[in-house]
Homo-oligomer: A and B are copies of this chain.
Amino acid sequence: MRDYVKSPMGIEEKSFEIIGEEMAPHNFTEEQLKVVKRVIHTTADFDYQNIIHFSEDAINKAKSILKEGKMIYTDTNMALSGISKPALKKLNCNVECFVAREDVKLEAKEKGITRSMAGVEKAVEEGVEFFVFGNAPTAIFKLLELVDAGKVKPKFVVGAPVGFVGAKESKELLEKYDIPYITIRGRKGGSAVAASIMNAIMYMMVER
């Protein structure tokens, strides 16, 4: 049998050690660093060190909302799958991919908009205030439209849509609002990145 590390937690610890050694000098707080390292762990892409941004006191703000046991919106089934269910359960939180709902699919088709946009509308109707975007810039634009219209005041947004059409712009616009956020600037991001940001925060709060 070949000699390779087989313990899952052993692999993770060793990975975080390597990431810490190879990261460029930085000014992250200890808690921010946990988020940054987990994103790099998920992508093997050190560029995330440069493009992740935290609004003031973002992690504490996210934690205080999660402590209240909230419903969390995600825009893809992949982000939904990636967010730790045991951690959510311990926090008494739920996460739902509104985009996958039948009523949302129908509405998107009728209006000729993305399912992510229709999903955001539905989530806002149902009182969701914590949003995790890993896919669709259109969902962020839609959310900010609803903010402009006074229909929602989001308490936290993970803004990590990936892509070439609108992703960068959606995150730049988000950062202009008075909403606590963690964003990935530019084109990069994705469902796995969004999920890893959520997990990093939750793992600070609960035993694994």
Further 13 A-B residue pairs, CB within 8 A, beyond A11-B138, A76-B81:
A2-B141, A2-B145, A4-B138, A5-B166, A11-B114, A15-B164, A15-B165, A18-B164, A41-B163, A42-B190, A44-B187, A44-B188, A191-B192
- Interface residue tally of chain A, by bracket? 35 or more
Assess whether A114 is in contact with B6, with CB atoms less than 8 Å apart: yes
Q: Across the interface, do B77 and A44 meet the contact criterion of CB distance under 8 Å?
A: no
Q: How many copies does the complex hold?
A: 2
Which A residues are closer than 8 A to B by beta carbons? 1-2, 4-8, 11, 14-15, 18-19, 41-45, 47, 76-78, 80-82, 112-115, 117, 137-138, 141, 145, 162-167, 169-170, 186-192, 195
The reply to whether B81 and A163 form a contact with Cβ atoms under 8 Å apart is no
Residue of B nearest to A137 (CB): B4
A1's partner among B44, B145, B189, B191 (CB-CB below 8 A) is: B145
Please tell me which one of the listed residues B7, B18, B45 contacts residue A188 in the complex, with CB atoms under 8 A apart. Answer: B45
* Whole-angstrom CA separation of A92 from B19 in the bound complex: 42
Q: Which of B18, B76, B141 contacts A4 (CB 8 A)?
A: B141
- B contact residues around A165 at 8 Å (CB): 5, 11, 14-15, 18
Q: Chain B residues near A19 (CB, 8 Å)?
A: 164
Docked pose: A166 CA to B6 CA in angstroms: 10
Cβ-neighbour of A6 out of B2, B42, B138, B167 (below 8 A): B138
